[in-house]
Every structure is written in C-alpha cells, then in structure tokens.
Amino acid sequence: MRKSAMIEEPVKNELNQLKESLGLKNDTDTIVFLLSLYKETREIPKAAFELLVKLQR
C-alpha cells in the first residue's frame, strides 16, 4: 500500500540532501534509515530533544 505524505518544502529539501549524501534511492529508504537510527539510539541529543519539545507545542 502506497500513501503520500504532505511535507513542507524546507523539510523536503533537507530530506533530499540527506538522501543524496547517504547515497539512497528514494525518500522511503531515507525514512527507513532514520527510523532505524531512532530505534537504535539510546539517548536523544539535547538539540533534538529541544526541537521535539518545540514541535509538541
């Protein structure tokens, strides 16, 4: 099943940059990599945690 997500342009640009720098084929592979990284990370960096709190508001 394929679904589309609405992603704001600045975020899409960053996702594309990450995809290119990692040498991945598509956005799905990039997101799968990021999810895997998140699952394996024991601690969230302070800057990322601060962003999380900001986004939750």
pLDDT confidence of residue 2: 77
**Mean pLDDT, range 1-29, rounded to an integer:** 93
Q: What is the CA radius of gyration of the chain?
A: 13
Over residues 21-54, the pLDDT tens digits come to 999 999 999 999 999 999 999 999 999 999 999 9
55, 45 Cβ separation under 8 angstroms: no
So where are the chain's domains? 9-56
Token pair listed for 1: 């099943």
